[in-house]
Chain A
Amino acid sequence: MALLEVRDVTVRYGGHVALHSVNLGVEAGRVTGLIGPNGAGKTTLFNVLTGLLPPSSGHVLLDGQEITRLAPYRRARRGLARTFQILELFGQLTVLENVQLAARLRRRSAPGAAADPRALLARVGLTALADRRADTLPTGLGRRLELARALAVRPRVLLLDEPASGQDEEETAAFADLLGELAGEGLAILLVEHDMTLVMGVCAHLYVLDFGTLMAEGDPASVRADPRVREAYLGTVPGPGEAGLAATAATTGSAGEEPR
């Protein structure tokens, strides 16, 4: 059974349906991918999962327990952590303090369970910048810091919102290794990403979201072969997702990967 389960989640903003009856499962020990064009509802789903946005209907279950109405911080204490598409660092704190604070918050709810902040910084390659103010980091390094901060609360489920944007090819490759390693440690990872090389490389299972509806799911090979997915998203002509990615790449200076 999936560690994190989404059942029939629907989100409406007035007349607009951002998510339409979405069902999804994230299993421990592997990376699950969530792809789709910009505006498909991926970040909305993350907000529902972490409690920042109440769904109009539907349920979210963590380890079989209903968490749909739980406050964000309670979900975090049960082992749900995330990163943000638009960086949400504590800019006035140093890089190390960002991770330390997360570890302290974890220690409060579960004594002894917190990770070592410096070890986490080393793991994402930020040791040299430990004492810099977080808001001086460029986007790519900021994303690594968000990952380290999320890991500091010792999550069981990790939600990553476009963690590779702003990173170059080599960095992304290293990042893929790190993801594989984390999954190997038993973490359940849900990855939202536009970089198809990364997604196809690390994900064991994929969900494709389009206009708030799940249009396909399965292992990467079958999703890639799915004609509807090809047409709507992965087609030879770059879809809206790729256009968005190109724009991101232009502003952050990283090279986006064209889907194969």
Chain B
Amino acid sequence: MHEFLVFTISGLTTAGIYAISASGLTLTYVTTGVFNIAHGATGMLAAFTYWQLAVGWGLPAPLALPLCVLVAAPLFGLLLERLVMRRLAGAPESTRLVVTVAVLVVLVSLVQWVWDPSTFRRSQELFAGKGFHLGTISVPYNDVLVLGVAAAVAVLLWLLLHHSRAGIAMRARVDDPSLATLNGARPSTSARLAWMTGTALAALAGILIAPKLTMSAIPLTLLIVNAYAAAVIGRLRSLPMTFAGALVVGLAADYAVGYLPKVHYGQQYLRGALPVVPVLVLLVALLVLRASRLRGRPALAVREITPTPTWGGGLGFCAAVVFGAVIAATTMSKADLFASTSMWGLAIVGVSMVPLVGYAGRISLCQLSFAGIGAAVVAHAGNGGNPAALLLAVVVAAAVGAVVSLPALRLSGIYLALLTGAFAVTLDNWIFQLPSFTVAGHRFDLFQGGTLSADRFRVGGFHTDSAKTFFITGAVLFALAALVVVAVRRSELGQRLIAVKESPAASATLGMNVRLTTLAVFTLSAGLAGLGGGVYASAVRSTTADSFSFFTGLTLLLLVVVAGVSSIGSGLAAGLLLGTAAISSAAGDSAARVTATLAGLAALALAANPNGLIPSVLRPAYEPVRRVPAVLVGSVGVVTGLWVLRLAHVVDGDVLLLGIVAVAVAAPLLARSLFDRAAGTVARAAGTAAVPGDAVASEAASTIATTAATATATATAAAAPTVAATGAGGGTVVSGPDEGLSGPLEWLGFDAPVSQTDLDVLDARLALAGVDESRLGEVRVGAA
């Protein structure tokens, strides 16, 4: 009984902290529509700041605490709103989530730069752990203070939301886009206030919870993530329910700490379960949550692009990748090759995100965890290099993926992200650390409590033991995975995925089973991620669970999204950046940290343009190359020539590398100028043949030219001949499919949101006004 009371008191304290954190999270979500995944990281940053002030510099707690919570945190919240969150209005939900993930990654990296993780730090409880006695139980003043603060927060929030003008404005619900529109003006004051309050609450919670464990960035961040369970119980809406939820989570967590070690059976399996108790509560909460309504499409400020790759383009890309891999494999040193060979596994995991995140607009935070499962399968089933193990890895990961996504299918995108995050944390902290266990007579031994070793594949006499062959095999496997994604995009499933992203409501009312479609894509991408994990495991031969950690997974996600998650090339880019960071492994941890920091910073820019680099910069830049065969063939020829010279030891590796870079820079420039010249000829020809009807088109063309001058010159180059072609048509309106139009037109709106003026220009250029009038009869013809 005595023990029970002690755990109850400490559980109530934990609950109070979760309640503070969760109410801040709910407040910002309800007011701004942004679910802040970085909420925990904000608290973690505050905990470190407080540690620096109170422990590092010895400031008294009564000074340091208000300084952190009431001054630094609101300022930080204001900064966050100003620099990042404000720009998320009108961004797709998936972008909002990814950007907050980016904030999390940046904050964690920042803290690791400033406070060296290898130094041991411990934060102190307030009142230095002193307390009073209540009967036989000693109650720390700290706990009393926490409970008092939690109660005060509850009362203050209630007063704010129900009895102040600013608060009532904040309560304007934003999860209903139409209501938000009716609200008219952007409630920027409410948003600012919400971010300041939310950040202050996160900071308070972070500082209060820090003494419960050592100061370490990721565990602290994740500990506060547990508050998400409380917020979900409150349905991200109701503050009283959120406080009730916090009570459940806090008590469950502390009873687990108290009583789990007393369980006599299976202690070695349960030990790791402690940190994941709140995650399990989150799972249960998600299961009992009522299904969200299918909603329509929110009005977006930026037009999203999901290119439809052609088979020719996809095969060309894959051929280029394999060709590049062959060049790399034959010219790089064995050590460099071995260090970077893991990139193919990561690239496959990256490309697995394309259908799910890129096409369907659903965020998964656990793709790397599926990869971990795939790695474990290949390590155990692939003895002697049996390639069937890869297939098994795909099947097992896909099955686990299907099961994981089931509870979230009924719910909106935020919940799927949370669920996958919870799953990743569970795997990361518990399942992957488990010692071997036996289920139904079969012994499972995931990471053998440490390192996992995998053999490289053999098929008959062909084996991939050498760094060279494996590197090329990895490229081929990546190419196959990329082709699967191309096939998906071009299939009915691809159209369904985009339809679900665009409008779940319209999809459902047209007879699509939206849940089944989501399940299908989640399963597919989990399977692909499993393949990636398998390739990774056999690439590096011995791997630990750390390679598949939650945090690394976030970095990978950010890299893919920054590169452009709707393009298959994004997987390759992410693999390259994350996989070859190991080349400079002398730098060790800091190399990974640089990658994470840069990825996070770059991802913050997604708020302005969610499309990523490949569709907005690279594709337009290289589009002319594809259209001018001479340049294409010439580039391949030059690279091949250099490669042959390198193999014959005529030139060294540096010359080859320089040559490739030179070709990569020169080819688009050359192609563009050739294209411009051709376009100029056509335009002049059109000019002489111009009839009055072309006035609109040419005027529009000049407007576009001006617009594009500030954007990419390529767009103009590519667009010009199309306009010219319209002119050459002799005043007839655009009729039927115009292959040239769909491409370049899409690239015009990149640097700025598409405004009404832009749309008018586009309409005019397509001679839509003409179409309108001249096609009117068609309705009547059809009706007659």
Contacts and interface: CB of A to CB of B under 8 A. Distances in A.
B303 interface: yes
A34 interface: no
Contact of A89 (B506, B512, B763, B783): B506
Contact of A52 (B303, B306, B505, B746): B505
Given A88-B297, A101-B499, A133-B742, A138 B506 contact: no
Interface of A: 50-53, 71-73, 75-77, 80-82, 84, 86, 88-94, 97, 100-102, 104-106, 108-109, 122-133, 135-136, 138, 141, 144, 149-150, 152-153, 170-171, 174-175, 177-178, 180-181
Given A124-B782, A138-B763, A84 B495 contact: no
A135 B303 contact: yes
Interface in B370-424: none
A69 B451 CA distance: 52
Nearest to A138: B763
Given A90-B502, A90-B506, A178-B783, A109 B778 contact: no
A170 B780 CA distance: 10
Contact of A127 (B294, B502, B511, B778): B778
B782 A125 contact: yes
Given A81-B509, A109-B511, A128-B771, A170 B492 contact: no
* Max count, chain B CB within 10 A of own CB: residue among A71, A123, A128: A128
B452 interface: no
Interface in B493-529: 495-496, 498-499, 501-503, 505-514
* Max count, chain A CB within 10 A of own CB: residue among B305, B742, B780: B780
A175 B737 CA distance: 25
Interface in B71-103: none
B304 interface: yes
Contacts of B306: 92
Task: Tell me the dominant secondary structure on chain A's binding face.
Answer: helix
Please provide the 4 A-B residue pairs with the shortest distance between their CB atoms, ordered closest to farther. A76-B511, A174-B779, A177-B783, A125-B778
17 contacts: A71-B513, A73-B508, A77-B511, A81-B510, A88-B296, A90-B498, A91-B304, A91-B502, A93-B495, A101-B495, A130-B737, A131-B736, A138-B768, A149-B510, A153-B510, A171-B779, A174-B783
A92 B360 CA distance: 12
Interface of B: 178, 293-294, 296-297, 303-306, 492, 495-496, 498-499, 501-503, 505-514, 733-738, 741-742, 745-746, 759, 762-763, 766, 768, 771-772, 775-780, 782-784
A132 B511 contact: no
B495 A125 contact: no
Given A86-B178, A128-B734, A171 B776 contact: yes
B408 to A, nearest CB: 17
B304 A92 contact: yes
A215 B735 CA distance: 49
Nearest to A78: B511
A82 B673 CA distance: 50
Given A88-B297, A138-B763, A174 B510 contact: no
Nearest to A180: B783
Nearest to B492: A104
B357 to A, nearest CB: 14
Contacts of B511: 73, 76-77, 102, 105-106, 108-109, 153
